[in-house]
Structure 1
Amino acid sequence: MILLLLVPVLLPFGRTAEAPLSIAAIIGVILLLRQHGVWRKSASLGLMLLLFACYWLPAFFSAFDSVVPAKSWETVAGDLRFLPFAVFAGYALRQTNIWPRMQCLIALIVLVWLLDAWLQILTGFSLGGAADKEHLSGIFGADNLKLGPVLAVLSPFLLLEARARFSRTGLIAAFLFLLVPILLAGERASWLSFALVCLIMLWRETRAPLRFAVWCMAALTGACFVAAIAWQTSPGFAARMQRSLLVLQGTHSAVDEASAGRLRIWHTALAMGAAHPLNGVGVRGFRYAYATYAEPGDFFVDPVTHEGASHAHQLLLELFSETGLIGVFAWLIGAWFAIRAWWRADVPTRLRALAPGLALVAMCFPLNTHLAFYSAWWGLLFWWLLALYCAALQSESHEVTTHVA
C-alpha cells in the first residue's frame, strides 16, 4: 500500500513518481510469472487486461507509420509498465478492510496540498515557492501549473471522506475548502471537472429532482459569491475571467482568444485525423505533425523548430489525431467495459470504487479540455486511478491469498 500512496505523494515533484510505480510494476511482473495460475481467477485482472488493451493497442498500431517513429515506439514501450503496476495494485488492495484506510490517506494527501495552497493564497508563498502571475500553483510550483486539474480530479477522495466522517457539514466544508484553490488555480478545465464532481455528489445526496435543483442552486450561489470575491481580490483570476467572457462576443477570433487558442489547435487536430483516419499521426507525434496541418500564421508553430502545440488539449481529438479511429473506438470499448463492471458490482463494492471511479469521470469527461493521456505524467495519474478502480471492483470471493516468496 505504501508504494501506491507514494505515487500521489511524489506527483508534485516531476518524474519522481515513476520510482514507486516502477518498483510496483516489477513486483507485478513477479506476481504474473510466479502466481499466474491464481491470477487467472482474479476478476480484477480480467478487467485490467481489457482496459490496458484498449489503452495500449491504439498506441502500438499508431507507431508503425508515425511521423516520429522513435518517440512513438518509446511511448509504446514505456506504457507497458502500467499493466504490471495495475496487477500489483490489485494484489496490494485485495483485502476489503484495507480500503477505508487507503481512501483516508489519499484524502489526507489532498488535504495537505490544499493547506499548502491556502498558505500561498494568504502569503503568496508555499512549499512550491511563489505563485504564478495568473495561477495559484501551490506545491506543484509556478513552472508546473497542474494544481487545479489534480485537485479537481482527486477531489472525490476528500469530499467522500469528509462526508463519511462529518456528515453533510463536512461535505459542505470540504467543498468550500476545495473551491477557492481550484478557482484561483485558473485552469478552466479544472473548474468544469470540479463542477461535474459536485453535481454527482449532490445527486448522491438528494436522489430527488426537486431537492437536487435546490442544492444545485445553493452550491452555484456559493460558488458565484466566492468567484465574485476572487474577481475583486485576485488580479490573475480577474484576467482569466475577462478572457473567458470574450466568448460572449460570439466571433471566431473572440472564441479562439477566450479558449487560449484552443480552437486552432482543435481544427489542426481534426485535419491530422482526417489525413490519417485509421491510426493517426502516431502517439505523441502531435507537436511534430502540427506545422504540416496548421493554418498559415498559426502562432503555435515555432519558426525555428517547426514544432507546434504539444497535444490536442481534448481527449477525443488527441485519440483521433494521434491514434485514429482505432484509438477512438478502442477507448469507447474500454469505457463500456469499465461502466459495465460498475453496474455488475454489488453495493459494498461500488462504495469502494466510488472515489477512483468518480475521479476517472472527472478526468475523462469528453465535454472538456484535457492534458495528454499518453504523456508520461498525466498517463501515470490516469493509470494510478484505473488501477485503484479495478482493484476496488475486485469482489471478496476473488481475493488472492498468495504471496511473493
Structure 2
Amino acid sequence: MRDPKVRLLGTLFLCVWVPLVLSVFDAVDFQRSLSTAVRFIGYPLAGIFIVQALSDDKARQVVFIGTAIVVGFWCLDAMIQWTLGYDVFGYPSQPGALTGVFYPKIRLGVVTAVFAPVLYEGVRRYGRRYPWSWLVLLAMVAAVILNGRRAGWMMLAIATVGYVAYLYFVAERRQWLRWMAVGGVAFAIAVGMVSQTQLVQDRMSRTLAVFQGDYEGINRATSLRLGIWRVGAEIARDHPVNGIGGRGYDAASEHYVQERGVDGMVSTHAHLFALEIAAETGLIGIAGYAVFLVVLVRGLLGVPRQAWPRVWPWGIGALVAGFPLNVNHAFYGSFWSAIFWWLVFVTIAMMPEQRAPARRAAVA
C-alpha cells in the first residue's frame, strides 16, 4: 500500500464497497446482495493489475490508441448498419434503435458516450496526421443519436462539456477557439445528418412533452420513469440508513407495488444512480458516493498540468459513467460496474508516478 496510486484506488473502492457490505445484513434479497458485495471484491484486484500493467508510457499509449480505435470502430460499424441494414458482423438493424456491435442490446449510445473524451483526445492529437479521423467523430455523434436512447444523448452532452472545459485549460486560446469552431461544425454536420430521421423526431417529440407541465407529459418525456422513481423514493424513505441491499431493488419494488399498493412501476433498478444508491445502500451509500466523487476530483485536480492530456480524458469518462443523474443501467449491476471501474482504474493508472514519502529514521 506504499504506492499512492494503489492507496487512491483502495480509497475509492472502499467508498462504494463498504456501504454495499453494510447493506447486506438486513437486505430484502440477502443472497443477491451478498453475491453483489462479494463480486465487487474482484474490482480492486483488477485495478491493481491495471495500475501495474500501465506503469510505463508505452503501455499507456497502447491502451489509449487501442481504446480510441475500438470505439471508433463501433461507431463506423454502426453507420454501416444504419446504411446497409447489417453491420460487418451481420447483425441486423432494429426498428427504432441502432445497436451496432451490441446487438440485440441497445447499449451503443451510453457506452460510446463515456468513451467520447478519449476519442475526442485521439482526434485532437492525430487529426492533422490523419484527417479522415474527423469522419470517425461525425460517426460517433451520429451513432449515439441514432441509438435512440436519450440517456446516451445526455451523457454525450456532459462528456462534451467536460472535454471542452478540459481543453480550455490545456490549449492556447487561439488553438482552443480553432478546435471549438472545427468541433462545432462537425457536431452540426452530424446532427444535421440524422435530425430528420423518424427515430430522432419521435424521440424529440417525446422529450418536448416535458413542457406540457402535467404528470402525463413529464412521465412521457422520461419514458414512464416517474412511477419507478416514486417507488424508489418510498423505498429510500423506509430504509434510510443502510438501504435494502445491493441489487435488491427488483424484489423490493415488486413488494411495494403489488403488496403495499404504491402507485408506481416494478423495475429491476431505479433508473437514476442517486436514487438507486439511496434505496439500496441508504444514507451510508450516499455519503460514500459523495466522498468517492470528491476524492476522485481532487485526485484529478492534483495531477500536474503537463500530465492532464494523459489523465483527464479518462477521468472525464469515469465521472460521466458515475454521474449521479444517469438513468441508464444499474449502478451496482455487473455490466455498468465493469465499465465504470475500468475507467476509474485506467484514470488512476494514467496519473504520473509518485513516490511515497520515506519514513524518517529513528534518532538514536
Decide: shared fold, TM above 0.5: yes
1:328 has 2:292 as partner: no
Shift of 1:355: 2.2
How far does the alpha carbon of each residue in 1:236-274 deviate from its partner, in whole angstroms, 9 at most, with x for none? 333222222211211111110111111111121111100
Is residue 134–residue 239 contact of structure 1 (8 Å, CA) maintained in 2? no
Q: Which residue of 2 aligns with 1:17?
A: none
User: Structure 1 residue 315 and structure 2 residue 273: aligned?
Assistant: yes
Q: Deviations over 1:352-383 (max 9, x none)?
A: 21222011122122344231121111111111
Query: Given the alignment of the two structures, is residue 102 of structure 1 paired with residue 63 of structure 2, yes or no?
Result: yes
TM-score (norm 2): 0.88
Instruction: Tell me the equivalent position of 2:137.
Output: 175
Residue type of the alignment partner of 2:51: G
Q: Does 1:83 align with 2:47?
A: no
Higher mean displacement: 195-204 or 220-229:
220-229
Match in the other structure for 2:117: 156
Pairing 1:358–2:316 present: yes
What secondary structure sits across from 2:329 in the alignment?
Answer: coil
* Cα distance change on mapping 1:345 and 1:155 into 2, 3 Å: same
| Count of residue pairs brought into register by the alignment | 350
Q: Which residue of 1 aligns with 2:360?
A: none
Q: TM-score, normalised by structure 1?
A: 0.79
- 1:246-257 alignment, distance < 5 Å: 246-257=209-220
User: By how many angstroms is 1:60 displaced?
Assistant: 0.6
The residue type paired with residue 261 of structure 1 is L
- In the superposition, relative to structure 1, how do residues 92 and 275 fare at CA in structure 2: closer, same or farther (>3 Å)? same
Q: 1:125 aligns with which of 77, 81, 86?
A: 86
Matched residue of 1:130: which SS? coil
List per-residue Cα deviations over 1:26-45 (Å, max 9, x = no partner): xxxxxxxxxxxxxx221111
What letter is aligned with 2:290? L
Query: Which segment drifts farther, 223-232 or 359-368?
Result: 223-232
In structure 1, what is the Cα distance between the partners aligned to 2:308 and 2:174?
25
Aligned partner of residue 129 in structure 1, secondary structure: coil
Q: Structure 1: where are the runs of 5+ without partners? A: 1-39, 301-307, 399-405
Q: How far, CA to CA, are the matches of 2:270 and 2:238 in structure 1?
A: 15
Q: State the Cα deviation string for residues 378-404 of structure 1 (Å, max 9, x = none).
A: 111111111111212251547xxxxxx
Residue 68 of structure 2 aligns to a residue whose secondary structure is helix
Q: Is the 8 Å Cα contact of residues 54 and 333 (structure 1) preserved in structure 2?
A: yes
Give 1 or 2: higher helix fraction.
1
Can you list the C-alpha shifts for 1:34-79, whole angstroms capped at 9, x where unaligned? xxxxxx2211110011011011111111111111101100111111
Moved more, 215-224 or 342-351: 215-224
Q: Cα 1:119–1:250, aligned 2, differ >3 Å: closer, same or farther? A: same
- CA shift for structure 1 position 177: 2.4
Equivalence for 1:289 = 252
2:100 to 138, 141, 158: 138
Counterpart in 1 of 2:198?
235
CA pair 249-225 structure 1, distance change in 2 beyond 3 A: farther
More moved, 281-290 vs 359-368: 359-368
Q: Tell me the percent identity.
A: 27
Shift of 1:138: 0.3
> Which residue type is aligned with residue 66 of structure 1?
A
**Counterpart-to-counterpart distance in 2, 1:128 and 1:284:** 34
Distance (Å, rounded) in 2 between the aligned partners of 1:319 and 1:164: 38
**Matching residue's letter, 2:269:** H
1:361 is aligned with what amino acid? L
Q: Which amino acid counterpart does residue 230 of structure 1 have in structure 2? A: V
Change (3 A) 1:389 1:290: same
State the 1:211 CA deviation: 10
Alpha-carbon deviations, 1:275-301, whole Å to 9, x = none? 00001111100011003334858574x
Q: CA deviation at 1:103?
A: 0.2
CA RMSD of aligned residues (A): 2.7
- 1:371 to 2:333 alignment: no
Q: Is the 8 A contact 2:249 2:269 kept in 1?
A: yes
| 1:130-153 C-alpha deviation (Å, 9 max, x unpaired) | 1221110000002x1110001111
